[in-house]
Structures are given as structure tokens and as C-alpha cells.
Homo-oligomer: A and B are copies of this chain.
Amino acid sequence: MKPFSSYQNPALAADLVVFGYYDNTLSVLLLNSKAEPFKDCWTLPGAFVQMEETLQQACSRILTTKLGMDKVYLEQLYTFDDPQRDPRGRVVAVAHYALINPKKFEVVAGQMANDVRWFPVKKLPALGFDHKEMFGVALQRLRSKILYFPVGFELLDEQFTMTELHELYECILGIGIDRRNFRRKILDSEYIINTGVKREGLQNRPAELYKFNKKLKRNNFQLNIS
């Protein structure tokens, strides 16, 4: 049995939903493609998977070369396989999502794209391919994951205030959460540590700064939303 030479295989792509959080807004990175079939359309960043690389490596390659990012939180989402999803031919795409802190990277348009921009998730333009669907799956996954796993820390600075974390959760989930109940829940979970440092220099009471408790075993957290 030698299917590797005798059969034709679909092309394999890795596509990325890159989430970033700034100005109290959750955003997604989109490319304005230079090439057909979605020229001048916004699309998710993606690339064909090479014979010798893993999906993770393909994603890293996209992040590094096209976007100037590295070492980010990355998770596989779902594989999209509609034979018609790419007008150029059969492409099976494995969707991933990444979480980054936009402050840490300067986004640069690579050779493939005219333009790379952050779009607030509530103001997305029309997307090419089946990328709207990929985005939907990614947002859903992020929303459910943040309830039982501390993914939020990937989006914030090393140190952050309780209010910043609180606003991040409200923003991602799209709901209001009682401030005191949120604080208690988070502190009880022991996912964060008080650094003892305070954020000074504002014209109101200085907020305590926290950091993520990296030593924590998982399964210790379940946020139920109000």
C-alpha cells in the first residue's frame, strides 16, 4: 500500500484566529489579501503546511514571518473540509486560535498582504473563504475555555489589576459580572498572586497588582457567570 505517491492528496492549510486585547476591546488580526481569489478581501492569516513541518510549526511560521510574533498561546480548534471552501481547489484547513498581547508585538504586513489590521470582534468586515465560521468557532472556544482555564493571562501584561482582569472577562464573555463576586471567585481559585506592588500615579486609589500563579495545578477553577 503506497498511497503517498499513487494518490493525489488535498492541500493542507493552517489558519489562525489571532486574538488580541487592548483598549478594553477584544480584536482579531485580519489580512487584506493581495492575491486572488479574495483580493482586497479580509481573511484570516494562514499558510500551506509543508511536508516536513507540523501544524504548530506552520502556525509559528505564519506568526513569525507574516506578523512578527513569537511564542504565543496556540490551540488547535477544528478542521474545515468542505471541498468547495477554496475556489482554487481542494484545501483542507486546520483552524487554530492564538492569544497575544498586542503591546508586545508590532504587527507588520508580510509580502503576502497589503495590510494587516486589528478588528474589534464586534465590528468584523466580511471575510473570505469560510473564515467567518472559523472565527465563530474560535470565539466560542475562547468563551468557554476562559471559564475553566486561565487563558486570560495570555492577553494581559505580566502584572495586572483586578479591574483589568474583570473587564477582560466581561469583554470576552460579552456580559456584566458582579465585581465583588468575580473578585472572590478569582482569589479563591488561587490562579493569581498579589505582588504587593500597587499601580501608582493615577488620580484615584492605587490598585493592587497581581500576577498569574504559574505553579497552580489545573482543575481548580470553574467560573459560573451571572
Residues of A within 8 A of B (CB): 1-4, 7-12, 35-36, 48-56, 76, 78-79, 81-83, 88-92, 94
Across the interface, A12 reaches (CB within 8 A) one of B12, B51, B56, B83, namely B12
- Give the number of times this chain occurs in the complex, counting copies: 2
Across the interface, A11 reaches (CB within 8 A) one of B3, B48, B81, B94, namely B3
A54 contacts across to B, CB distance below 8 A: 81-83
Whether A10 contacts B49 in the complex (CB less than 8 A), given A35-B1, A89-B4, comes out as yes
Given A1-B35, A4-B91, 9 more A-B residue pairs with CB atoms under 8 Å apart are A4-B88, A4-B89, A10-B12, A52-B83, A52-B90, A54-B82, A55-B92, A76-B79, A81-B94
A92 contacts across to B, CB distance below 8 A: 12, 49, 55
Could you give 16 example pairs across A and B, Cβ below 8 Å? A1-B36, A3-B11, A3-B48, A4-B11, A4-B89, A7-B11, A9-B48, A10-B12, A49-B92, A53-B83, A55-B79, A55-B81, A56-B81, A76-B78, A76-B79, A79-B94
* From A56, A83, A91, residue with most partner B Cβ within 10 Å: A83
Shortest beta-carbon contacts, A-B, top 7: A9-B9, A4-B89, A55-B81, A79-B79, A3-B48, A9-B11, A79-B94
By the criterion CB–CB under 8 Å, are A4 and B83 in contact? Answer: no
* Cα distance A79–B4 in the bound complex, in angstroms: 19
* Cα distance A94–B77 in the bound complex, in angstroms: 12
* Cα distance A92–B91 in the bound complex, in angstroms: 13
